C-alpha cells in the first residue's frame, strides 16, 4: 500500500461505493486479484469491535463488495494514522436526572490517536444544587481518569504529549 492515497474514516462523503457498472480494465482486474480485500475486511471488523466503533459503518459498507471489489472499494479501507499522539477527554453531566434521588449523571470518554480508549457513565455520589456544580463534579471525575491515563501512557510508551479536556463539549 506504499502508493495508496489515504482517506479519512469513517467514510469519505465523496466516495460512493457501488457495484461494478462498467467493465474493469485488465490492469485493475489483475491488481485486485493481488489485494487481500476479504482478509482486510475481516481483520478490520475484528479490531473495530473494541477500538474503533465509529468506523464500523465504513467497513460494513465496504464488506458488501467482497466478492468483486473494485480499486475504489480498496481505497475506502485505507487508514490515516494520527501521529500527533494527543490524548483528548470529553466530560459532560446532566442535572438531577435521577427523579428518585435527584442525583446527576457523569459521563466521559477519552480518545487517543482518534480511537476510543476509555469511557464511563455513572450516577454522581452527591446531590448537586445546579448544573454548574454537576458539570464541575463530572470534570473532577474526568480529570482523575485523565491523570491515570496520562500516567499509564507515560509508563508504557514514554508519552509526553498534549492533553485536551473538553467539558460540556467546550475546550477547558
Report field, pTM of the whole predicted structure over 0.75: no
Which region holds residue 102: left if phi is over 0, alpha if psi is between -120 and 50, else beta? left
C-alpha cell at 12: 469519505
Residue ranges of domains in the chain, CATH in brackets: 1-80 (no CATH), 87-171 (3.10.20)
CA torsion, points 149, 155, 157, 160, in degrees to nearest 10?
70
Span 3-18, pLDDT tens digits: 666 655 555 666 666 6
pLDDT bin (cut points 50, 70, 90) of residue 145 is: very high
Read off the pLDDT band of 65 (50, 70, 90). confident
Which has more confidence, 149 or 169?
Answer: 149
Q: Give per-residue pLDDT as tens, 24-36.
A: 788 888 888 888 8
Residue with cell 454537576: 134
Q: All 3 cell numbers of residue 126?
A: 452527591
* Nearest-angstrom CA–CA distance, 120 and 37: 35
Amino acid at each position: 500500500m506504499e502508493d495508496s492515497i489515504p482517506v479519512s474514516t469513517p467514510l469519505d462523503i465523496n466516495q460512493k461505493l457501488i457495484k461494478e457498472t462498467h467493465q474493469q480494465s485488465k490492469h485493475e482486474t489483475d491488481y485486485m486479484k493481488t489485494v487481500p480485500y476479504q482478509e482486510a475486511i475481516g481483520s478490520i471488523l475484528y479490531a473495530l469491535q473494541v477500538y474503533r466503533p465509529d468506523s464500523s459503518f465504513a467497513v460494513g459498507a465496504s464488506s458488501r463488495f467482497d466478492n468483486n471489489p473494485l480499486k475504489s472499494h480498496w481505497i475506502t479501507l485505507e487508514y490515516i494514522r494520527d501521529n500527533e499522539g494527543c490524548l483528548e477527554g470529553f466530560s459532560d453531566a446532566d442535572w438531577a436526572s435521577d427523579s428518585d434521588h435527584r442525583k446527576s449523571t457523569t459521563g466521559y470518554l477519552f480518545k487517543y490517536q482518534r480511537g476510543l480508549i476509555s469511557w464511563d457513565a455513572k450516577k454522581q455520589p452527591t446531590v448537586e444544587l445546579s448544573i454548574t456544580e454537576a458539570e464541575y463534579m463530572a470534570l473532577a471525575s474526568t480529570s482523575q481518569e485523565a491523570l491515570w491515563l496520562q500516567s499509564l501512557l507515560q509508563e508504557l510508551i514514554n508519552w509526553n504529549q498534549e492533553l485536551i479536556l473538553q467539558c460540556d463539549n467546550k475546550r477547558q
